[in-house]
Structures are given as C-alpha cells and as structure tokens.
C-alpha cells in the first residue's frame, strides 16, 4: 500500500471499506515453522537483528520462505558491515526495503494492516489506586 503510514486502528475515526476493493485470499500455511539458526560468521549486528526477529510478534506469521528471506537480509547486513570501506548507502537502502517486507518496523506492519499489541500487566499498586479512586467517586456522588 503506497502512501503515508496509516494510523493504528484504535486511532482512526472512520472505518472505510478497503479502497482497492480486492478481496483478501486466505490459504493454509505450515502449522509451526521453526526459525533457522543464525550463521556464526555473520557480523554481530546481523546476528542481533536476526535474533530479535525470532522474538518479534510478527514472526508468528512467517513461513519457511520468510525465514530464508530473513537469512538473506542478515547475510547482506553482515556483508555490508564487514566491508573495509564501510556499508554502502545504496545497499543499505536495499537491506531496509527487504527488511520492511518482513514487517520489521511499526510502519511496515501498519501498511500491511498488522498490529501487534503489547500485553499489559497491571501491578497490585495500580489496582489499589484504581479502587481507591472508584471509592472516592462513589463517595462524592453521595454528597
């Protein structure tokens, strides 16, 4: 989807129909895909990127071909970072583009209409504060 990054669904005011009108095709993929291990010869930045990809929420959607694409991107990162003259801007652009295809940034995920939500943990202290405020509001209603 070209254009600016769309807002998250909970931030949108309207729920328009898809403008392209093309229906989404659904197909069964592999049930469980085990991510491959990283290459020990990769540059540390490539290893860290690949490891973070394994822990990311979007990884649940990956198939074998996606993991092979990720391995290729990590290889490209490693190759560029190991160059004596440093990474080339044009090649980094290619790497960022390919990484976006793997939904590695918030903007890329929103363009594909994939939203990851962090699990919200509420501590006992927050629960106590909320219940105290609720009791205070009830008390104020009675006056």
User: Where are the domains positioned within the chain?
Assistant: 44-115
Task: Find which of 11-20, 77-86, 98-107, 124-133 is predicted with most confidence, using mean pLDDT.
Answer: 77-86
Whether the Cβ atoms of residue 29 and residue 63 lie closer than 8 Å to each other: yes
Alpha helices in 13-83 (DSSP H): 44-55, 64-81
What local confidence, expressed as pLDDT, does residue 42 receive?
Answer: 97
DSSP 96-115: HHHHHHTT-SHHHHHHTT--
For the segment 72-90, what is each residue's pLDDT rounded down to a tens digit?
Answer: 999 999 999 999 999 999 9
- Positive/negative CA dihedral, 87, 64, 36, 59: positive
Gap between the Cα atoms of 15 and 98, Å rounded: 30
Output the pTM of the full model.
0.67
Confidence of residue 49 (pLDDT cuts 50, 70, 90): very high
């Amino acid at each position: 989807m070209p254009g600016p990054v769309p807002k998250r669904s909970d931030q949108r005011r309207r729920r328009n129909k898809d403008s392209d009108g093309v229906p989404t095709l659904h197909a069964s993929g592999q049930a469980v895909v085990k991510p491959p291990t990283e290459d020990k010869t990769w540059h540390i930045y490539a290893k860290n990127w690949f490891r973070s990809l394994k822990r990311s929420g979007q990884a649940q959607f990956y198939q074998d071909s996606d993991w092979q694409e990720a391995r290729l991107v990590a290889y490209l990162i490693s190759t560029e970072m190991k160059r004596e003259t440093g990474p080339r801007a044009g090649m980094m652009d290619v790497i960022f583009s390919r990484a976006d295809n793997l939904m590695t940034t918030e903007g890329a995920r929103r363009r594909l209409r994939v939203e990851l939500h962090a699990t919200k943990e509420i501590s006992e202290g927050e629960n106590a504060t909320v219940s105290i405020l609720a009791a205070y509001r009830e008390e104020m209603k009675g006056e």
